[in-house]
Structure 1
Amino acid sequence: MPLEGPSPQPGDLIEFIRTLYQHWGVYVGKGNVVHLTDQEGFSSLSSALGGTAVVREDPIEIVAAGCIYRVNNKYDQKRRPYAPEKIVNSARREVGKKMKYSVTSANCEHFVTELRYDKAFCDQVDNAKTYATGGLLLAGAIGAIAAFSMQKNRQKQ
């Protein structure tokens, strides 16, 4: 799948649109991204099972693996990004390092946003928490309605 939107510039955050999640990297120029991934370089999703990940620099097309990807500097309105050369240099210094991985607090989006903004953000985690809380509330409400309905039916009999 092709790039969606403008061409990346060094220091840009790249969002890779996967089926169930997004993978993130920092564009470092010459067609490469630095990203937090599993040992084989496929994605951060398999890292979740092992609790560790590695920082790699790979060609953007290989990381995309057929998925759509795009520049997504979505936090630029909230935080001032570092200069592109600082982002790129910081990202490249991390290449080869093994890191603790946590879906909720130390994932690929946290990694790249910290490089760009000096603060880790992850909407995926925040959105999942919101949906999970909303889902639990909805399930509880449905359960309460069902219990009330069953009680009413028993009273009629």
Structure 2
Amino acid sequence: MGAGSSVEMKGVKVSEKFNADMASQYDEKPQPGDLLEISRGTYQHWAIYVGDGYVVHLAPPSEIPGAGVNSLMSVLANTALVKKEELWEVVGDSTWEINNLLDDKYEPRPVYLIVREALDLVGEELPYCVFRGNCEHFVTRLRYGKPQSRQVRQVGEAAVYAGALTLGALGVAALLATLLGGNKDKRKQ
């Protein structure tokens, strides 16, 4: 294959770059409408596969492959751009997987609607909030009609757990102080 050529996999044209760099690493090939989870180390970036080796994703200004710690600056962004890019450009040297995480909970919308709506949003600047409107919310709304973020839920659960542990430890410390303090007072009498 020459530069810029493509092959067809499962009815989807895939660019040579995608085929050579990505497909050999993964047994399962993305289908239009699939959610792709891209590991950025400290967090996951999400995109939706729209076919022909392309994805649509919600990208705050700091969301670029290889940004590392700098990509965490997205928490400060209040807007993000909907982009259509080749999968390999978005993934960079990160790992990725197909993760239609809510298929067991919700029925996915028809593929043609998912793809059409995703493509219609390309170029739009949307409100961005890491807790209420991030890239995972964006793709789950497209696929299921319901914006959800497992990452936000997990962080929230971890914060609640850490808070419970802290409160529990403070409660035990207060109880011990009361008990031990009460014994001191009895000794003084």
TM-score by length of 2: 0.74
Measure the CA separation in 1 of the matches of 2:72 and 2:147.
18
Matching residue of 1:6: 28
Match of 2:123 among 89, 92, 96: 96
Helix, strand or coil for the counterpart of 1:116? helix
Contact 2:61–2:80 (CA<8 Å) still a contact in 1?
yes
Match of 1:17 among 25, 36, 39: 39
Contact 1:36–1:111 (CA<8 Å) still a contact in 2?
yes
Match of 2:112 among 82, 85, 96: 85
Question: Which ranges in structure 1 are unaligned for 5 or more consecutive residues?
Answer: none
Match of 1:118 among 131, 145, 148: 145
Helix, strand or coil for the counterpart of 2:84? strand
Match of 1:130 among 145, 154, 157: 157
Higher relative contact order (CA 8 A, sep 6+): 1
TM-aligned CA distance change 1:68 to 1:74, over 3 Å: same
Matching residue of 2:68: none
Paired residue type of 1:141: G
TM-aligned CA distance change 1:131 to 1:41, over 3 Å: closer
Helix, strand or coil for the counterpart of 1:149? helix
Matching residue of 1:146: 173
Deviation digits for residues 13-65 of structure 1 (CA, Å, limit 9, x no counterpart): 00012212111000011211100012365277433212110100112122112
Matching residue of 2:56: 34
Contact 1:114–1:120 (CA<8 Å) still a contact in 2?
yes
Question: What is the CA RMSD across the aligned residues, in angstroms?
Answer: 2.2
Measure the CA separation in 2 of the matches of 1:79 and 1:155.
57
Contact 1:36–1:108 (CA<8 Å) still a contact in 2?
yes
Superposition deviation, residue 4 in structure 1: 4.9
| Larger of the two Rg values belongs to structure | 2
Contact 2:46–2:139 (CA<8 Å) still a contact in 1?
yes
For this pair of structures, how many residues does the alignment match? 157
Measure the CA separation in 2 of the matches of 1:35 and 1:22.
12
Contact 2:61–2:77 (CA<8 Å) still a contact in 1?
no
